[in-house]
């Protein structure tokens, strides 16, 4: 999922998906998912359905609450947990350059199907998309005297008790004006090591790009993250970089992830373009045979990542 390592065996890190399937999740969508998804046309149906009653809360560029005050976490708690600092034990300084020193690992990267392979989505090979889903890139830019991108977040964190003593937590996070960029990606680990920051740019600009080339225009996106997981009660909410890159939460059981992005920006030549990004996973992975969901088959669909693409469309 994140773009810092090329070894597919390190947790869920790269999320390469070799088979794109059309699957319908079996849960009922919560009120918050439906409310938030309206900002992204068509995403409500794709977001699947969840058995929770979502509790709204909001954060954003300059505002946000810290908790709900009743033992439940808020979406701002989740946002505050994101972004490994460069000097922490769970950081590789992946997005840092001389133009962006001590830049936190503010986002995870979503990759496409491995290329070359039996199935290639794009002529230019594999792609990786980086999306500022938690406002970390925007906050860094503002601290370094770059105009705010007006990134706004809202959503909910809801939990319900399980019979085994754990809780099931559903995070719904909607982000507007999220900095987004896309680069080429070689999942086979070409030399030098793969890095979304330094690989050939296909769309948008990174934090380092914007600070180095002040005439660059950022690509901005609306994104919707719906994530369901189980863990013991009173445990911290996960940082997605720590979760997917380092496996830092061994007690956490991931149930499902849906991440949908619509971005508007430019190609490297300056011409206008849009991007549609989708990452969808179900754990353990369901198997569709003769129109019916059956028991999971290990590794059939790369451990559960059932749908993934990073489309780029030139516009006039």
pLDDT in tens, 73-97: 899 999 999 987 665 666 555 676 7
Question: Which residue did the predictor score with more confidence, 174 or 200?
Answer: 174
Which pLDDT score, from 0 to 100, does residue 28 have?
Answer: 31
Q: Is residue 24 part of a domain?
A: no
Give the Cβ contact number of residue 315 at 10 Å. 10
Give percent above pLDDT 70 in the chain: 63
Query: Would you state the pLDDT for residue 4?
Result: 39
Residue 62 confidence class, pLDDT cut points 50, 70, 90: very low
Q: Is residue 78 part of a domain?
A: yes
Domain assignment present for residue 22? The answer is no
Mean pLDDT value across residues 129-151: 95
User: How sure is the predictor about 229, in pLDDT bands with cuts at 50, 70 and 90?
Assistant: very high
Residue 22 near residue 306 (C-beta atoms within 8 A): no
Q: Report the distance separating Cα 170 and Cα 226, nearest Å.
A: 7
In a domain, 259, yes or no: yes
Q: What is the mean pLDDT of residues 116-138?
A: 83
| Structure tokens given for 195 | 């890095």
CA distances, 10 to each of 4, 5, 125, 129, 256 (Å): 11, 8, 22, 19, 18
Whether 12 maps to a domain, the answer reads: no
More confident residue, 48 or 280: 280
Residue 226 above 60 pLDDT? Answer: yes
The answer to whether residue 199 scores a pLDDT higher than 80 is yes
**Does residue 144 lie in a domain region?**
yes
Domain span at residue 299? 31-314
Q: How confident is the model at residue 197 (pLDDT cuts 50, 70, 90)?
A: confident
Is position 11 within any domain? no
Whole-number Å distance between alpha carbons of 52 and 45: 16
Q: How many domains does the chain have?
A: 1
H/E element holding 34?
helix 31-37
Looking at the predicted structure, is the pLDDT value of residue 41 above 50?
no
The predicted structure's pLDDT at residue 302: 54
**Cα three-residue angle 223-249-107, rounded to 5 degrees:** 30
266 or 95, higher pLDDT: 266
Among candidates 120, 131, 108, which has minimal Cα distance to 15?
108
Of 114-128, 244-258, 273-287, where does mean pLDDT reach its minimum?
114-128
Q: Which residue has the higher pLDDT, 193 or 251?
A: 251
* pLDDT of 70 over the 90 cut: no
Beta bridge partners of 142: none
pLDDT attached to residue 311: 94
Give a yes or no: residue 135 inside a domain. yes
């Amino acid at each position: 999922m994140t773009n810092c390592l090329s070894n597919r065996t390190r947790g869920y890190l790269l999320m390469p998906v070799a088979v794109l399937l059309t699957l319908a999740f079996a849960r009922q969508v919560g009120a918050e998912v439906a409310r938030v998804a309206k900002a992204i046309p068509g995403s409500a149906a794709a977001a699947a359905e969840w058995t929770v009653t979502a509790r709204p809360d909001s954060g954003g560029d300059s505002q946000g609450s810290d908790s709900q005050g009743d033992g439940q976490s808020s979406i701002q708690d989740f946002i505050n947990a994101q972004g490994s600092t460069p000097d922490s034990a769970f950081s590789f300084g992946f997005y840092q350059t001389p133009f962006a020193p001590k830049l936190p690992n503010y986002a995870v990267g979503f990759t496409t199907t491995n290329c070359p392979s039996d199935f290639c989505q794009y002529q230019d090979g594999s792609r990786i998309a980086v999306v500022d889903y938690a406002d970390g890139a925007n906050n860094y830019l503002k601290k370094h005297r770059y105009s705010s991108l007006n990134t706004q977040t809202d959503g909910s964190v809801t939990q319900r008790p399980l019979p085994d003593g754990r809780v099931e937590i559903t995070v719904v996070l909607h982000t507007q004006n999220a900095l987004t960029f896309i680069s080429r990606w070689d999942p086979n680990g070409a030399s030098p090591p793969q890095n979304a920051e330094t690989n050939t740019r296909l769309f948008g600009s990174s934090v380092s790009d914007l600070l180095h080339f002040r005439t660059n225009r950022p690509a901005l996106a609306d994104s919707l993250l719906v994530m369901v997981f189980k863990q013991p009660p009173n445990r911290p909410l996960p940082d997605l970089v720590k979760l997917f890159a380092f496996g830092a939460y061994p007690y956490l059981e991931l149930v499902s992830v849906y991440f949908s992005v619509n971005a508007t920006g430019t190609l490297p030549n300056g011409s206008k373009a849009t991007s549609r990004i989708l990452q969808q996973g179900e754990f353990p992975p369901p198997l569709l045979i003769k129109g019916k969901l059956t028991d999971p088959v290990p590794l059939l669909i790369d451990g559960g990542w059932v749908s993934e693409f990073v489309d780029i469309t030139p516009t006039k």
